[in-house]
Amino acid sequence: MSNRRKFIKKAALGTVGASTAFSYATAKSKSVTTKKAQKKPLVISTWRHGLAANDEAWTQLKKGTPALDAIVAGVGIPEGDPEVRSVGYGGLPDREGKVTLDACIMDQNSDCGSVSFLQGIKHPIAVAKKVLENTPHVMLTGEGALQFALSEGFTEEDLLTEKSEKAWKKWIEKSKYKPVINIENHDTISMLVLDEDGNLSGGCTTSGAAWKMHGRVGDSPIIGAGLFLDNEVGAAAATGLGEAVIRTAGSAMVVELMRQGKSPFEACKEIVERIYNKHKNHKDMEYLQVGFIAINKNGEHAGYSIRPGFNYAVCDDEEGNRMEPATSKIPKKNK
């Protein structure tokens, strides 16, 4: 059986965790640990749609495709899937019924590219990579990002599916902005890769918060907020309420704590707790969800969120492609 088919089979059978092949770096119990992959490469992605993204990225990496291209191909799967309502085509629109997309990508040399408030282009992550490669800049936004994409050969198309339009029309009946945790607002795909050579890279792509104001940009295209890595240390990425992640420079802080010697688990936990504490009396607290994933140079990885419900997909040679639960600050029963 080919490696790819083995992975698909394993994923379908739900081959999750629980192997002695993992060691637990800061272990007290399995639920509070950073997990260590035995071999490179390693790919981790936020949420269940991370499984399909990992599968594609993994196939590419195994063919010798460079990590950034593997990321573009991997997260391109949920971007192109109309059933994934929080990323790319089929993503839920803003309050004016416009699908606006944010994405960024970063490589081992700290080179990065980003697009924000981009409309009409199905694969913003691919445009972000072109920004990295073909411009002297890091970020392009709105109309300028669209013009750049078109000049690079991307095609403009309508990204609002019938289903998403219907959902928007229902929403405008009441027009109340109160994101539903883990459903409307928190399914950005972020992918982190430790490649065969031990180098780190990452990408992040989203249609952002559903029913946001027109022009709103979240954390996902902002290097240091939605995604950050330092090839000497580790990589981190966020999902959840972008405003809270931007206020705290979330992903950059997770990487900085790993630089100071914290494990991915400890680093994610500390920043989630900081965000929680900073928002205790904030109007956003009622629906605040933020989750981070992180990996370090040794292939240790972890996920941690404010509220339960967050999980991430992990793919390595030892155990294939499977979901791992993230630990949450607020226990399940208090959800």
Among 40, 122, 123, 186, binds ligand SD4 (CB under 6 A): 186
Minimum CB separation of residue 30 from ligand SD4 in Å reads 26
Q: Tell me whether strands 234-240 and 227-230 are parallel, antiparallel or unpaired.
A: antiparallel
Tokens coding 106: 């970063």
Minimum CB separation of residue 240 from ligand SD4 in Å reads 5
Alpha-carbon distances, residue 213 vs 94, 193, 196, 218, 240 (angstroms): 6, 32, 42, 11, 17
Bridge partner list, 315: 43, 321
Q: Tell me whether strands 227-230 and 311-316 are parallel, antiparallel or unpaired.
A: unpaired
Count of residues that interact with ligand SD4, criterion CB under 6 A = 15
Among 188, 199, 305, 311, binds ligand SD4 (CB under 6 A): 188
Angle at alpha carbon of residue 110, lines to 46 and 53, rounded to 5°: 25
User: Contact at 8 Å (CB) between 284 and 219?
Assistant: no
Q: Is 72 in the site for ligand SD4 (CB under 6 A)?
A: no
Residues 6+ apart with CB under 8 A from 277: none
Q: Is 182 in the site for ligand SD4 (CB under 6 A)?
A: no
Minimum CB separation of residue 189 from ligand SD4 in Å reads 8
Buried b (16+ CB within 10 A) or exposed e, 98-128: bbbbbbbbbbbeeebbbbbbbbbbbbbbbbb
- Per CB under 6 A, the segment of 110-118, 204-212, 228-236, 315-323 that binds ligand SD4 is 204-212
- Per CB under 6 A, the segment of 1-9, 13-21, 48-56, 203-211 that binds ligand SD4 is 203-211
Site string for ligand SD4, 228-247 (x = CB under 6 A): -----------xxxx-----
Q: Is 209 in the site for ligand SD4 (CB under 6 A)?
A: yes
Among 55, 79, 219, 324, binds ligand SD4 (CB under 6 A): 219
Looking at 34, 59, 161, 188, which residue is catalytic? 188
188 annotated active-site: yes
Minimum CB separation of residue 112 from ligand SD4 in Å reads 17
Minimum CB separation of residue 242 from ligand SD4 in Å reads 2
- Per CB under 6 A, the segment of 107-115, 213-221, 253-261, 297-305 that binds ligand SD4 is 213-221
Q: Is 251 in the site for ligand SD4 (CB under 6 A)?
A: no
Minimum CB separation of residue 75 from ligand SD4 in Å reads 12
What is the spatial distance between Cα 335 and Cα 331, in angstroms, rounded to a whole number?
7
Q: Is 50 in the site for ligand SD4 (CB under 6 A)?
A: no
Nearer to ligand SD4, 299 or 309 (CB): 309
Site string for ligand SD4, 75-104 (x = CB under 6 A): -----------x------------------
Q: Is 327 in the site for ligand SD4 (CB under 6 A)?
A: no
Minimum CB separation of residue 109 from ligand SD4 in Å reads 25
Among 54, 182, 185, 205, binds ligand SD4 (CB under 6 A): 185
Q: Give me the active site residues, please.
A: 188
**Which spans of this chain sit near ligand SD4 (rule: CB under 6 A)?**
86, 185-188, 206, 208-209, 218-220, 239-242
